[in-house]
Chains A and B, each alone.
Chain A
Amino acid sequence: MISVNFSQKIANIMLWASALITIAILFIMVGHILLNGVEVIDLQFLLESPKNAGREGGILPMIVSSLYTTGLALIVAIPLGIGSAIYLTEYAVKSPLTKAIRYATETLSGIPSIVVGLFGYTFFVIYLGLGFCVLSAGLTLSIMALPIIMRTAEESVRTVPIGYREGSLALGASKWQTIRKVLLPSASPGIVTGIVLGMGRAIGETAAIMFVVGGGWRMPISPLSPAQPLTVHLYELFSAGIISTEIGYGTATVLLAMVLAITFTANWTMRRYIKKIMGE
């Protein structure tokens, strides 16, 4: 029989190993891409359009497309997400409707992005007649970002101590004043986190917008121009035979850098904010 202490030792080793494997996976992946990517990236890569069927040149229109579509998505998703969070925590009483809202949010975040893509195509592009463009993509992406922002915002508004609400209302502040001046500022670290997570989701999304953006290498100017965000560009580089692995590394690096930068800036601001408010 294996002794009890021996199995405890084995277990410990296995648990440590699994954590280290997980860390290693991330470092190998990110490290590999970044190391190969930085060799490709220079000012020209960041500031030029693709050339020679995508084998050379830069990815500026793609960077702009990514930011443009993500920006539009956030413009729609942020007010809806925060509004919903406030409604659910401050106005709604528990009812079948609030249950349905939660269920819908959960479901929305579980729908495969390719299905959202099909929807974006039939609804925004065809039915509403917006065509293949930045706006259609932004609206489609807002559906992806919405449930994340909603859920995170609701959680953080809910954890604001009840005393803040009472304190404000007892001073004769209206409900909306209380929300705007006390609840939202107190909940803002959580809300910002939610927005950032939603932003990360939107900027990294491919399947939801591949039938919606239109593509091409032109710089998108108006919301009705077609666009090719970084993610779609990266796919295009590999969808019809491998066009250029170098450009692929460069594009993936820029994309990764954006996503990781977003994540870490958010964490950093949040910590600073908490420190400022809480007084050490």
Chain B
Amino acid sequence: MSQELRINNNKFIDQTTRLSFKFNGEKLYGYKGDTLASALLANNIHLVGRSFKYHRPRGIMTCGSEEPNAIVQIGNDPSLTDPNVRATEIELYEGLEAFSQNCWPNVKFDIGGINNLLSPLLPAGFYYKTFMWPASFWEKYEFFIRHSAGLGKSPTKPDPDIYDHKYYHCDVLVVGGGISGIMAAKLSAENNNETLLLDDKNILGGATIYQNNDCFQIDGTHTNYWLEKEIKNIKNIKNLTIKTRTSLAAYHGYNYLLAKENLTDHLSLDERKGKIRQRLWKIRAKKVIIATGSIERPLIFNNNDRPGIMLSSAIKKFIDFYGVKAGKEITLFTNNDSAYETAISLKKSGVNIVSIIDIRDKSSSKIVKEVEKHNIKIYWKHTIVNTEGYRRISFIEIMKLSDDGSGVIGKKIKLKTDCLGISGGWTPMVHLFTQSGGKLKFRSDDNVFLPDKNKTPSDQISIGSCNGDFDIKDIILNSNKDVKTFLGIENSSFDNLKVESSKEEMKRNIWLLPSDKPIGKTKPFLDFQNDSTAKDVKLALREGFKSIEHVKRYTTTGMGTDQGKLSNMHALGIIAETTGTNMGELGTTTFRPPYTPLTFGAIVGRNVGEFFDHTRKTAMHNWHVQNKAKFENVGQWKRAWYYPKDGETMFEAVQRESKAARESVGILDASTLGKIDIQGTDASEFLNRVYTNAWSKLAIGKCRYGLMLNEDGMVYDDGVTTRLGENHYIMTTTTGGAANVLTKLEDYLQTEWPELDVYLTTVTDHFSTISICGPNSKKILSKVIPDLDLSDEKFPHMSFKNSIINGIKCRVMRISFTGEHSYEINIQSNYAKHVWELCMDAGKNYNITPYGTETMHLLRAEKGFIITGQDTDGTMTPSDLQMDWIIGKKKFDFIGKRSLYRSDTIRDDRKQLVGLLTDDPKEILEEGAQIVEKLNQKPVEMLGHVTSSYFSPNLNKSIALAVMKSGKKLKGKKFFVPMENKNINVTVTDTVFFDKENKRLNA
């Protein structure tokens, strides 16, 4: 296939490497160096998509990240497909497949285009107004909207690609590799600064690298040749790291920046295999130089959205950089000099220019004179009032502007054209500056918002056209001067450059160009992706919207994937004009990161699958796995939940385990409980202050249960603490509370009681805990540790012994969370599995039964022991839990003591812990179920809820714990637990269901 729109002498395109690709199923060709957009244009394809609301045909409009229309879906593999890719940014590779988005059944015939015919009925806020009411219709509306609208499709399978994160520190970060960025990087690196230069394109040099025009020269040579030489030179500077294909996504406080490096998106699928796709750079820079340039503004006039209407600067880049003619009969429409640069580039390549329409009265700048030499017809003081052509622009209609620019006069002239370049001046890319917290100032000469040097939050400067310099002479002079000052450099190789340029003499700005038709009958598009027009903005203002943030949301202007990079300024201009406000006072909408979309892959990096979150496993974990345990997550821990045997259900397994633990012996891996080693001469005093009960008199070798409160008097954590020596304790905490308890204790020690001599060390991972419980537990222990005297006299309940198992030191506590006679062996984790297996071996003849967390919960519920976090929720005092016995009333103080007699905590109608029995002993309550007294009340008063509920195999009936208003007074009273299909009758009881006399502890 010949490419008649391609010119042959272009150094950025490798015409010896032909690449085949598919667009909407059609096989096409391009060359290495093309973007998808340039390759499509070379194939004379402008129509690439449909707009969001009216489904109007839309074409490639720009050549960069600001592209609102040419948004495509890449590939159709369910795990690799990539939605919302800008055709102007993706580099062509062999085998690329792209599809238009937002059109059905296809881009040329689109059902949703019916909205275009209905557009008088679809004004700003249409969706808000129409689909709000009646609410019951919403589902129908939603179906209609979702079916006919919507951008790309998400991949449906997991992403197989690899993404990377990189942390990077440097002295100076330069963002943008255009002419000012190159100058800054060179100056910085040459002056001993570790410098990083980023550019989002594959080739450095920005717009200057293809600026080959007699009017613009540096030291007697065209600007592109001069810059080429500079780029060659900087590649040899040692201190300078250059990353291309790397786009800056976000600029946070303290010069912390995120950038995304594209590593394989430009390669064919085969070449990508095994390589990292994208790398997210997390950069801390001492100083930042922003040189992100500017983007051209469109002009806002009737029907300014047809395929073939493009930014003038894009037409220039397509011809000068990619060697592609955007049309055969091109017209330019402008309010400034830059379109004349495009005209010269087109002329040089032999493209016919129909005419130039300029809204200004006249300009006699150097470049305009240069264009006039080519006998190109220029219509001064004219505007376009209408365009024609459905899938491609075919005609334009122009008229003379009135002096004040508010209307048109004279005769209408119709011109034939297949491509229209528009230029409305330039918008500095100040996104990064504002993201960093910088404030903008307004320059009214050319209506631009610029970084305010006095309102810069961190060590940074903006240079080049993002700082409002548009003339090459100003860019070079000011970039050199500003970088020297910023980095404290005295002499620069750029000090004496001779620069020639064409000075722009005049500008004229009309935010909304007039037509011969009334505005209601025109379609001057502002936001090309979301289809909001100047008309919509005016309507929103008439309806009373004043804040620009509200107008933006109501009209959806600037809310597409392009974030309104092209025409937010026009929207502001129109608002300012209509409301008679100064644009500087109006300000801009907030620029939010990322500047261009980031993939989720890049954000997540390697933290996927197993690496997504830490998993903590106990030393016996593999034993549990081998013995078919089911696991539950407790914080980051994997805990054995229950061990089903021979196809048992969870219920059956838990019933069996619970019975075995009370009838013979059970064994539990309790290693996940938090363990804090406490030492120091004030350790006892410290415990006195953090627990509610008294600790001073606890003898060495004894254990005690403690309750810890928050300063507000609410139960925070609990556990058993053992006195190992005069000044040495080991505290256990709940599994989930371990880290927070340590932090809290450290906080008090360091900030409130720094005078206490206490040292805290977390030893949760160092020791594993094996809990053995049941009437035969003593027999197991005597086999495992024959030397230990287990008599009640020598080793009573709530005491501790140091011991040795197979030469391994261990700590044995006789404590119980089940009410059974039981022991806990604490042993260095490396030996824990071995000791666990010894215990299993020793218990063979006693049917030793491993049990998991579910059985542990059931057994403790039979005894009415609370689990903090399950039976408490941060609003329960010890008294609410019927645990007044644990309050050391005589103690001078402890954390939370004063709160225990605040007016609110002494109310007797607080929710309090109770036991609940169902009238039908087989009925098991649902945890979380509400408890009520009267069924026919409206609204029904909820008195409390169930916190723990099980079927107790040892009592052969269902039992539950609950919290109820004034619960302490309700013993024996009957209530209902209303469920979906029935009301369950319950009776309030004592919280202890099993072995009320605690006889079994010493059995």
Are A and B part of the same complex? Answer: no
